[in-house]
A and B are shown apart, each in its own frame.
Chain A
């Protein structure tokens, strides 16, 4: 099952190598996890609670078992191991047992000879629900004295350390106090509340897994995931299996964006495979995919920014409430990110930043590209524009003036590590050429294609107004707050069957589309001077690579591949040095005189020039390496600590056209300047930042998973709209490439930063076009043209800005973490 990379020529790091899986993906032959099949496999389907909250009085599966073709039905009663699982804390039942806590929560699963019989069996399962009133407002859920929504939930954090939030429905709260007087207020003050809707990762290939029970009592699972080893740990615990018997291999992943960081159908499918002794294919359809994985946290945020009259930011106060939904997922970490980024990429003398992630009966929320940062970036950037307005200052100048530079002290009391070219970025985007004004004679305007709403909306060019907006943001890279999310890789230099030297690489890094398969080959070519690369399938037979998230894999697994390859090279060179009879001091440090270049080992000073094939004739050389990033710290009770490994900054400029009569928006142009570190593959980089920008655009103007009383009402691509090629303009992208000194080759992660800034830049441009305060994303047409409350945050903030804004109530009476 290994695939040689059909790479033309040798392309090491720095080249725009093409994806090895690109042709298969664009021609439709790439096997995604959902395409996997085995003879005799059973088909599994999931039964979900229709109620956002209901007591489960009884489940009767007897009729379902009598449906012809049904092989097994499993419920909570059939879970042999731990009854609950979770990414950070184990609070989510494998199946709802006594109470369903969100609409869409799995209650049972069925395996049958075909999907039709499985579906029929689902319909035959009798679940006796006693509906309870759902709590869907996070403010109500976190109110003092509110009844616990999951009283038997185990501790939420690693070692339960986050559990002491002081409120049963608060996953975690953080209260950062920075400066001599955290509640200091400058001369010019702006404050407001902001609402952020629920975005979905909306990856194209729905969840799927194929599970085969093995003769040794274990299972072999092929699944599309972001983190094989985390899945394995949770699956094994729930199945009551040792981890060695729980073997996972990565299936083809069609997008992830955070939505595959949590376990979804894996345990259900494994239970059915073990119950039936047959291979089981379990898969979601589009609707189930929308219900089955955690989403991006909706947020309600209050900010108060103040500055001196000449535009120096004095203080930021914030209160950020994230709706975590029914189960914890990564809510404890997401709120950490949100609060530590709430002041944005700006130097502030004082800050008081409070945030909480809250349990409700809404769908669970967890990881999505940006991980808590897009929410606050929308807020702080809206505030910066407000402040610029209040000061009569240019918004770019205000940002540039206050932009963090390396060494500036963050609200967590530690200096921000460099490089941190925030100021340069915002100045760079501002200097990009603007698109030409709307030209009524141009074909795009004449046809309507280039007008808001496209052709069928028939906008009148005279009633279209243009706006320009900016946003600057930072995003932390890698896992934070003390996590050692290391990555392991194995490399081997060997002779292929054709006698040609090649590098064989093995990691558990999940390729979810980001291009690790390309980068890994480039790194091995650079380190080992070979052309041919063989990439073993990612699986749990090698050490954990950590998650494909947090902008971390090029740095972490790239670092692991580099380390493993370097160790292989060292060993081979030492072997050659020994064979050449060089002194022990050289054998110990052979790179002093020998090096690998273009398929040869050369040592001009010792007259050595040995083809790699010859050096490998004695056998292959293999090494394993685990890459760690620098250690970080937990936040203390005042929110102080060195929590994040590193940061990347990004700045967007958006230009939009708005139909003033209908409130339709067309994004005309987007410019991005991003702090990228060393660029290993310019093409891959462009793909990442274009994708991140498009996802931010979707959130700005269209993407929202809407719930009514806890029930998702638009779980299809007919109703949940994603940007099309007609919606996303070409990106004018400038990469700023100061190397990150503590990262392999000086890289920075690049996937997340642009997602956070695209949204606020677009909203700022819309504000500039229509002259309204827009406090909510996605921006809806009605927000732009209808009078009154539709334009505001609406019912967003019970209590209003006045009460929640009071410094004393930030964090509340019992508002201290730990």
Chain B
């Protein structure tokens, strides 16, 4: 049905999986299959072998520790969508595809595909995520997400998990697309605030080959916003507007721009990520301090979250 002639391997552990990968040399990993199966059917991917990860239970764990949140590569969007300890991830997961896609699609698959419009990548970039990988030759390795995305998955390597450092503050993920629901992102924007040190992480997707960080906008927020006395009213509006403008500028000057599409000329994308960023900051400013957590989700429900 998938049109593939590849041999299928079904390891039961990460060790087994990396050994199989090393032996095969050239194989595609199969997680939820939401990206791989269409590619096999279309014939754009023709692997000689496929290593299916569903039986690798270690990959399906997630947890919270002192050094942050760790989510296994086999965790699905549906599992993340209701996960209280990671409200930003949960909000992002809820924005992905349809229920069917959320049930099947995984974190590891999102990193493996590294689609520049992938929702999770935008959020993870804003959240300073680290990617945990493993290969038979080199063992486990931890790399910052941008480095992982730049280099691509190495031969014989498996993504085992992602780790997000702990943050204390609101987290927002916003995206737009061609219809009211179940759409791939045209552009997206994620904002992760740490009230403790005033740091703001802002990334945007759908503009460049990997989601860039809007550094100047982050600096601006760090300099201008005192999260212990959050500005309101006109001041908050002005901050959000300026923040959005800076994100638009970051988008305009981002390297490796994606080709223009019929529904999204480049200038519209730049504009739109700025609008989303301004909205995201406005929401963070409006989020009550201390009352964070899933119960505190404000307007926009699935998209504002505190931690």
- Cβ of A666 within 8 Å of any chain B Cβ, yes or no, is yes
Contact of A781 among B43, B173, B176, B184 (CB under 8 A): B176
- On chain B, the residues within 8 Å of A285 by CB distance are 41
- On chain B, the residues within 8 Å of A460 by CB distance are 279, 282
Judge whether A455 and B262 touch: CB under 8 Å: no
- Within B13-66, which residues are at the interface with A (CB < 8 Å)? 38, 41-43
- Cβ of A704 within 8 Å of any chain B Cβ, yes or no, is yes
Judge whether A116 and B176 touch: CB under 8 Å: no
Contact of A457 among B175, B262, B263, B264 (CB under 8 A): B175
Are A447 and B180 also in contact (CB < 8 A) when A287-B42, A455-B95, A662-B272 are?
Answer: no
Per-position binary interface string of chain A over residues 391-427, scored 1 when its CB falls under 8 Å from any chain B CB and 0 otherwise: 0000000000000000000000000000000000000
Q: How far is the CA of A189 from the CA of B249 in the complex (A)?
A: 43
Judge whether B303 and A456 touch: CB under 8 Å: yes
Contact of B263 among A119, A448, A718, A780 (CB under 8 A): A780
Judge whether B300 and A119 touch: CB under 8 Å: no
Per-position binary interface string of chain A over residues 652-668, scored 1 when its CB falls under 8 Å from any chain B CB and 0 otherwise: 00000000011110100
- Secondary structure dominating the interface of A: loop
Judge whether A453 and B264 touch: CB under 8 Å: no
Q: How far is the CB of A654 from chain B (nearest CB, A)?
A: 15
- Cβ of A582 within 8 Å of any chain B Cβ, yes or no, is no
- Secondary structure dominating the interface of B: mixed
- On chain B, the residues within 8 Å of A781 by CB distance are 176, 186, 263-264, 268, 272
Per-position binary interface string of chain B over residues 168-205, scored 1 when its CB falls under 8 Å from any chain A CB and 0 otherwise: 00001111111111111010100000000000000000
Q: How far is the CA of A781 from the CA of B272 in the complex (A)?
A: 10
Tell me the count of chain B residues lying within 8 A, CB to CB, of chain A.
43
Q: Which of A349-357, A556-564, A723-731, A761-769 contacts B (4 or more CB under 8 A)?
A: A723-731
Q: How far is the CA of A785 from the CA of B276 in the complex (A)?
A: 14
Contact of A790 among B175, B184, B265, B303 (CB under 8 A): B265
Tell me the count of chain A residues lying within 8 A, CB to CB, of chain B.
42
Residue of B at shortest CB range from A719? B184
- Cβ of B213 within 8 Å of any chain A Cβ, yes or no, is no
- On chain A, the residues within 8 Å of B275 by CB distance are 661-662
- Within B238-293, which residues are at the interface with A (CB < 8 Å)? 262-265, 267-268, 271-272, 275-276, 279-280, 282-283
Q: How far is the CA of A782 from the CA of B266 in the complex (A)?
A: 10
Residue of B at shortest CB range from A715? B42
Q: How far is the CA of A456 from the CA of B304 in the complex (A)?
A: 10
Q: How far is the CB of B207 from chain A (nearest CB, A)?
A: 14
- On chain A, the residues within 8 Å of B181 by CB distance are 449, 454-455, 724, 726-727
- Cβ of A593 within 8 Å of any chain B Cβ, yes or no, is no
- Within A97-149, which residues are at the interface with B (CB < 8 Å)? 115-116, 119-120
Q: How far is the CA of A645 from the CA of B262 in the complex (A)?
A: 40
Most buried by A among B94, B174, B186: B174
Judge whether A726 and B303 touch: CB under 8 Å: no
Judge whether A786 and B176 touch: CB under 8 Å: no
Judge whether B179 and A455 touch: CB under 8 Å: no
Contact of B300 among A115, A448, A702 (CB under 8 A): A448
Q: List 25 A-B contacts (CB under 8 A).
A: A119-B3, A285-B41, A447-B301, A448-B303, A449-B180, A452-B180, A454-B179, A454-B181, A455-B95, A455-B300, A456-B303, A662-B276, A664-B176, A713-B262, A714-B262, A721-B177, A721-B179, A721-B183, A723-B179, A726-B182, A727-B179, A782-B264, A782-B265, A786-B267, A786-B271
Which residues of B pack against A, CB within 8 Å? 3, 5, 38, 41-43, 94-95, 172-184, 186, 188, 262-265, 267-268, 271-272, 275-276, 279-280, 282-283, 299-304
Q: A452-B180, A456-B177, A786-B268 are in contact. List 17 more A-B contacts (CB 8 A).
A: A115-B3, A116-B5, A448-B302, A448-B303, A454-B181, A456-B173, A456-B174, A456-B188, A456-B303, A457-B175, A457-B276, A458-B279, A458-B303, A662-B272, A702-B178, A724-B182, A781-B263
Closest 10 CB pairs of A and B: A782-B268, A726-B181, A726-B180, A447-B301, A456-B95, A454-B180, A721-B178, A706-B262, A458-B174, A458-B300
Which residues of A pack against B, CB within 8 Å? 115-116, 119-120, 285, 287, 446-449, 452-458, 460, 661-664, 666, 701-702, 704, 706, 713-714, 716, 718, 721, 723-724, 726-727, 780-782, 785-786, 790
